[in-house]
Amino acid sequence: MTKISIAKARRLRTTPYTSRIEKQGLSAYSVYNHMLLPAGFDVSLEDSYHHLKEHVQVWDVAGERQVEISGPDSAKLVQLMTCRDLSNAKEGRCYYCPIIDDNAGLINDPVVLKINDNKWWLSIADSDVILFAKGLAIGKKFDVSIVEPNVDILAVQGPKSYPLMEKIFGKEITDLKFFGFDYFDFRGVKHLIARSGWSKQGGYEIYVENTKSGLELYDHLFDIGKEFNVEPGCPNLIERIESALLSYGNDIDNNDNPLECGFDKYVNLDSDVIFLGKEKLKQIKSEGINKKLMGVMINLDKINMSQSIELIDNKNNIIGDMRSAVFSPTFKKVIGIAMFKKPFWDVGLEFNLNIEGISTNGTICNIPFV
């Protein structure tokens, strides 16, 4: 694929870390929530993948914006937007929550942080959830305040994130459980830090509100991190597909519902909480889904995807579309995530596809990949 550059402008917002990361070998950007998201460096994707699995990386994921919903009706509004029952949500915990519309179509899949009973942060994927929340709140006359706070997340990911973060924030940060968050001090400034992140290699996300302190922390992470072989990084396509971390807009979108995407455990239809699309989801559940997200393995040693690729059966019928794929060093094949039509989603089913004029084939598998 030809390299095409990104045209910068204020509309594609820079982050506080942009000038630093561009001096650290950044080679590619994506755009996420109207903000620049680092997407590649002067090292290969595969080298960065191995580094992430062995060492520690600092990621500028400020594009993962927060929607802050506060006020007396905040819990009611947050619950209205997600099919996950949040009635027992605890302060200091993160919750992965599909956000759906009244037709059960996915609008986003944020991690929801319960700051307290009257304040929630939705750490969002790439869509303007704030506009959905505002529209609902205005229409329902909810007593809430909805803003995008000044929060720019730094992710520290990889197995050596634990000793690195311990060295900066002390032993207590290692007590944080997965998807827990708390406040930790850096040179007199408190930072909200969660044990979370968009890799399965372990790590933390630092929700930086104090930009000046965040920049000092950024530099300190690279300084202190030398002994742990720290490098700048970004969400890694190989690692995230191998780990089956779904990407809104890539693998799933508003034309899909949570039951088609395997989010059954985040769909709580039996409790009495009120959320959009609940009746629709009950109907879908009783009638059965019409398409299903599955893993695929393809007999190729490389792939570049910029749009869906049709998957076809022996009679040339389209049975599914592949939405993300990458060559996996672990499986020594291309692995991908694809949506299959009913009833063509059996594990082991073979399909054909054409990529850049080349015909090849693959088989359906479960996600996570094993």
289 binds a second copy (CB under 8 A): no
Nearer to a second copy, 105 or 225 (CB): 105
- Order across the sheet with 111-116: list the strands: 94-96, 111-116, 119-123, 66-70, 145-147
Query: In the set 44, 47, 140, 299, which binds a second copy (CB under 8 A)?
Result: 140
E strand or H helix that includes residue 299? none
Question: 234 near 62, Cβ under 8 Å?
Answer: no
29 vs 186, beta carbon nearer a second copy = 29
Stretch that binds a second copy, among 9-17, 264-272, 327-335, 341-349 (CB under 8 A): 9-17
Q: Which residue has the tokens 């319960």?
A: 114
143 touches a second copy (CB under 8 A): no
Cα-based torsion angle of the residue sequence 153, 176, 88, 288 in order, rounded to the nearest 10 degrees: 70
Which window, 8-16, 54-62, 216-224, 291-299, contacts a second copy (CB under 8 A)?
8-16
Which range binds a second copy by CB under 8 A, 68-76, 158-166, 267-275, 299-307? 299-307
Binding to a second copy (CB under 8 A) within 10-49 occurs at 10-14, 18, 22, 26-31, 34, 39-40
Asked whether position 2 contacts a second copy by CB under 8 A, the answer is yes
| Residue 142 beta carbon to a second copy: minimum distance, rounded to whole angstroms | 8
Stretch that binds a second copy, among 49-57, 68-76, 242-250, 257-265 (CB under 8 A): 242-250
Applying CB under 8 A, which part among 48-56, 138-146, 174-182, 204-212 lies near a second copy? Answer: 138-146
What residues contact residue 76 under an 8 Å CB cut-off, 6+ apart? 142, 274
DSSP 154: E
Report, in Å, the least distance between residue 17 CB and a second copy: 13
Tell me how far apart the alpha carbons of residues 16 and 34 are, in angstroms, rounded to a whole number. 14
Residue 64, classed as helix, strand or coil, is: coil
Give which of 37, 102, 31, 97 is closest to 67, Cα–Cα: 97
Q: For the CB of residue 295, give the shortest distance to a second copy in the complex, in Å.
A: 16
- Residues sharing a CB contact under 8 Å with residue 44, sequence separation 6 or more, in sequence order: none
Q: Could you say whether residue 139 binds a second copy (CB under 8 A)?
A: yes
243 sits near a second copy (criterion: CB under 8 A): no
Q: Taking CB under 8 A as the rule, does residue 249 contact a second copy?
A: yes
CA pair distance 29, 367, nearest whole angstrom: 28
The answer to whether 71 and 140 have CB atoms below 8 angstroms apart is: no
By the rule CB under 8 A, 323 interacts with a second copy = yes
Out of 188, 226, 272, 307, name the contact with a second copy by CB under 8 A. Answer: 307
Distance CA 362, CA 370 (A): 16
Strands (E), 238-357: 291-298, 309-312, 318-328, 333-341, 350-355
Binding site residues, a second copy, CB under 8 A: 1-14, 18, 22, 26-31, 34, 39-40, 101-102, 107, 126-129, 131-141, 247-250, 276, 304-308, 323-324
